[in-house]
Amino acid sequence: MIEHQVPLGTPFTAASTPSDVLAGVDLTGTNVIVTGGHSRLGSEVTRALAGAGASVAVAARDPERVAAAVADIDGVVVEQLDLTDPRSVDALVGRWLGTGRPLHVLVNNAAVLFGPERRLDSRGHELAFSTAHLGHFRLTRGLLPALRGAHGARVVNVTSGAARFGEIRWDDLDFAAGYDPAAAYGQSKRANVLFTVELDRRYADQRVRAFAAHPGVIIGPGPHSPAEVAAYRAQGLVDEHGNTVIDPEGGKKTVEQGAANLVFGAASPLLDGIGGVYLKDNDVAELDDTDHPLTADSIPSMASSAMLDPDDARRLWDVSERLTA
């Protein structure tokens, strides 16, 4: 909620890691689901939460491959989930609710990398929006009985600084009239934040709180293709030798530093009693409606009123209900 979009002044910085954020936090008895919790950011989140004592279910499309990737992490199981397939989403919901276990934390992390060509799911929805928003919307709503049963649960929607300039194309959500990969990505990330706002508004009184978490810009150590190096160089993400630039205060982070903000949203006691906010650098992000220029090497990632607009949040919820009916 906009009135709560005020930094708390946490002791953490943009360079903090999950171990910093979880220092002194015991998650024994905490049940967690992390979508895409087997690679990059998701893997670091899974490892950190499990290391603090949580029981973590990693939800992914290929359970056999993913099981091998998380085999060295104690307290982790793998669940099959294809966010673009309603039957797969409903099957996971059914399996979880069938156990009768509460769900204390749901980290909606999975997404798809956008490419130059428009891609659709089996229902004709643009793939980034389908995966990052519609699939997680269906999953979260299905798991609400388990989230309410935790008597204190959190939903973390992994977003991006792109949410600031992303817009919801209400009349053309699937980009049928013309595809722009950056606009499609921005729409999916704006949807993550708006979903957070309305989810928290609807269920805060039932002790289900929601957070949108921006990890920063993370490209990993490489190796990168020549085309990637050229693009990253133009954005200031690699140096003249092709080495990844790490500048946490400038939003360019390691995978571990990026994961810290997701872990902060999932488990930090500093967030008790609030929700519906956008997190950045292990704190509630500053609300700044200044018209900052968008350049190749500078994507403003502060919160804006448009990202958190309650009317847009309600409208997106209604549209999403229809699309997932």
pLDDT tens, position by position, 88-101: 999 999 999 999 99
**Same domain, yes or no, for 154 and 118?**
yes
pLDDT, average across residues 100-124: 93
Residues 84 and 192 in one domain: yes
The 10 Å Cβ neighbour count of residue 194 is 29
% of the chain exceeding 70 in pLDDT: 96
pLDDT at 296: 52
Q: What is the mean pLDDT of the chain?
A: 93
Does 288 share its domain with 243?
A: no
270 and 260 fall within a common domain: yes
Q: At residue 252, does pLDDT exceed 60?
A: yes
Same domain, 67 and 212: yes
d(CA 93, CA 77): 15
Q: How far apart are CA 244 and CA 325, in angstroms?
A: 43
pLDDT at 114 over 80: no
pLDDT for the residue numbered 268: 98
Confidence band, pLDDT 50/70/90 cuts, at residue 229? confident
pTM, whole model, 2 decimals?
A: 0.94
pLDDT mean over 211-231: 80
What mean pLDDT do residues 100-123 have?
Answer: 93
Range of the domain at 241: 219-252
The mean-pLDDT minimum among 7-16, 133-142, 220-229 falls in 220-229
Task: Give the count of domains, the chain.
Answer: 2
Is 75 in contact with 56 (CB distance < 8 Å)? yes
For residue 86, the one-letter residue type is P
Do 317 and 239 lie in one domain? The reply is: no
Active site residues: 185
**CATH of residue 307:** 3.40.50.720
Q: How far apart are CA 29 and CA 20, in angstroms?
A: 21
